[in-house]
Amino acid sequence: MEADFVIVGAGSAGCAMAYRLSEAGASVLVIEHGGTDAGPFIQMPAALSYPMNMKRYDWGYRSEPEPHLNNRRLACPRGKVIGGSSSINGMVYVRGHAMDYDTWAEMGADGWSYADVLPYFKRMETWHDGGQGGDPAWRGTDGPLHITRGPRDNPLFHAFVEAGRQAGYEVTGDYNGEQQEGFGPMEQTVWRGRRWSAANAYLRPALKRENCALVNGLACRVVLEEGRARGVEVEQGGKRQVIRARREVVLAASSINSPKLLMLSGIGPGAHLAEHGIDVVADRPGVGQNLQDHLELYIQMASRQPITLYRHWNLFGKARIGAQWLFTKTGLGASNQFESAAFIRSKAGVPYPDIQYHFLPIAVRYDGQAAAEGHGFQAHVGPMRSPSRGSVSLRSGRVKEAPVIRFNYMSHEQDWEDFRTCIRLTREIFGQDAFKPYVGKEIQPGTEAQSDAALDAFIADHAESAYHPCGTCRMGRSDDAGAVVDGQARVIGVDGLRVADSSVFPQITNGNLNAPSIMVGEKVSDHLLGRDPLPRANERPWVHPDWQQAQR
């Protein structure tokens, strides 16, 4: 059991690295604790609320009680299945804004500015615009990851974009292209009616090569000898063995499990490790710190017309959609139903969008529970750049014990101000003429909630994670005490060990994290192979010409 590269985690970044490293002729072993992704719950896009709530596919993590959210413990699903969280997520595809990556570079992630990462986004994509417009020059044409758009057959998808235009916002044909800011079609990792996870896009083709194999087991710790990573200790069926790496070990186990594994291996805040009886190999105080996430609210409206997905919200309707999908891979089952979106700025003086919308033509929760009684629709809305930071720490030195996850959500006054702005701007959008034929009463928060205090009470009760944890092994320069990895994703202070997943993000990106996580895997594979990075891009992204004076 030995290979050139040993990767822990067959998730978004891990699958991409397995593909690129094996393509280059290196031998690769990928360690994954979860099992197969076969079956309709994962592969059928419209069934997305099921896998993230199934113990079989999810690590089942929860936050500690969040003091600013009425001590609620929020779910923190992470994929425990091949494909990782790309197999249980909402399949929304967002690269992030150009300025996100320029900020990374300013924070010390050398070589990760937008000009550096855009070529990797292009390399990983095969983009299909479905005749809905877009920026072909900014997009990829022959990568493993197929990106499509839903059919947008429901008139509510168009009402949402038109309402945005009527409210004075930009309309964009491709938020992943030149102009993120504005209202337009949403993109999804769906191909030919199936979830196009990292497992389908990258891992399955990689496993067809003789030099790539999957090992099912629980990674317990990185084996370190004389300051160098030599392999990974894995538990299989109650027995432990070491899988050795001839060249390097790469942790791609998620922003929750990667810092946990580092700490169990003796890499992390020295005093914290000593508390749990772990010998300190490298005292890196930043391991597990800098935890970030997106919170969101569902602003729900009753529909005056029976055109929402609620008409299928019964056993017969679900069975019909499921049968159509099973036999033809078409129909409502073939889309995640997030088919219109928006990115806007909360106020003048904000240079690039800091609010994201997903629009959904039904009023329902992510976990598939509590569909509003009758026809309704909703906008998922939340701020993109919360100043709040949390942490992941060890509960004990035992590998099977869940870590302590403290997001510290809403711990800044700015968080509350941003969320109140989100609610008020959303109400204004639903108040436009484009929605007049459809809008009934406001289901949630409800029109009686107008004052700051009433909105704050609603936020504390109803804000939910958008499931975008990141930042716990952040990239930075080697003289930065809080950094965990350098610009090539090498763990500072340990040889032969890298981290490549959303935990290396210095700051959370605009939007959903699957695309940037795969991009990290793509880029780090070139670093692992000792290749020169792809040539930098010259494209200049659109920025609102009047951003300093105007909100829209």
Task: For residue range 438-482, list pLDDT tens digits in order.
Answer: 999 999 999 999 999 999 999 999 999 999 999 999 999 999 999
**Structural domain 151-185+295-383+411-462, CATH architecture:** 2-Layer Sandwich (3.30)
212-239 confidence digits (pLDDT tens): 999 999 999 999 999 999 999 999 999 9
Our CA angle for 219, 221, 222, nearest 5°, is 110
Distance of CA 315 to the CA centre of its chain: 31
Task: State yes or no: cis peptide before 445, omega within 30 of 0.
Answer: yes
In degrees and rounded to multiples of 5, residue 155 shows phi and psi of -60, -20
**How much is the pLDDT for 130?**
83
Query: How sure is the predictor about 391, in pLDDT bands with cuts at 50, 70 and 90?
Result: very high
Half-sphere exposure (CA, 13 Å, Cβ side) for 199?
A: 26
Beta-bridge partners for 315: none
What's the rounded Cα separation, in Å, for the pair 185 and 179?
13
Query: Given this model, what pLDDT does residue 289 score?
Result: 98
The pLDDT value given to residue 373: 75
With contact defined as beta carbons under 8 Å apart, do 78 and 59 qualify?
Answer: yes
Average pLDDT in the 357-364 region? 94
CATH class of segment(s) 1-148+187-290+391-399+470-537: alpha beta
**Is the predicted pLDDT of residue 75 greater than 80, yes or no?**
yes
pLDDT, position 133: 86
pLDDT tens digit sequence for 368-386? 665 667 899 999 999 999 9
**Under 8 Å between Cβ of 267 and 258:** no
pLDDT of 29 strictly over 80? yes
Give the pLDDT confidence of 133-179 residue by residue, as tens digits. Answer: 899 999 999 999 999 999 999 999 999 999 999 999 999 999 999 99
Q: Whole-angstrom distance between the N-terminal and C-terminal Cα of the chain?
A: 58
For the chain, percent of residues with pLDDT exceeding 90: 95
Name beta bridge partners: 406: 391
Query: Looking at the whole model, is its pTM more than 0.85?
Result: yes
Kindly indicate the confidence band of residue 297, based on its pLDDT and cuts at 50, 70 and 90: very high
pLDDT reading at 79 higher than 80 = yes
Per-residue confidence (pLDDT) for residue 460, from 0 to 100: 98
Q: What is the pLDDT of residue 368?
A: 61
Mean pLDDT, all residues of the chain: 96
What would the two tokens of residue 185 be? 């079609």
| Catalytic residue positions, numbered | 468
Section 2-28 average pLDDT: 98
545: Cβ–Cβ under 8 A, 6 or more apart, which residues? none
Closest to 551 in 3D by CA, of 425, 430, 456 = 425
Give the model's confidence band at 348: pLDDT under 50 very low, under 70 low, under 90 confident, else very high: very high
At residue 369, the pLDDT reads 63
Q: Which among 263, 236, 292, 262 is positioned nearest to 466, based on CA atoms? A: 292
Contact between residue 11 and residue 193 where contact means Cβ atoms under 8 Å apart: no
Looking at the predicted structure, is the pLDDT value of residue 83 above 70?
Answer: yes
Which residue type, as a one-letter code, is found at position 408? N
**Domain locations along the chain:** 1-148+187-290+391-399+470-537, 151-185+295-383+411-462
Per-residue pLDDT tens digits for 32-47: 999 999 989 999 999 9
pLDDT at position 552 over 80:
yes
Q: Give dist(CA 21, CA 178) in Å, integer.
A: 30
pLDDT > 70? residue 525:
yes
The b/e string for 82-104 (b: 16+ C-beta within 10 A; e otherwise) is bbbbbbbbbbbbbbbbbbbbbbb
Number of residues assigned to the chain: 552
Question: What is the widest separation between alpha-carbon atoms in the chain?
Answer: 70
Residue whose entry in the numeric block shows the structure tokens 């983009």: 127
Look at residue 527 and tell me whether its pLDDT is greater than 70: yes
Number of Cβ within a 10 Å radius of residue 207: 20
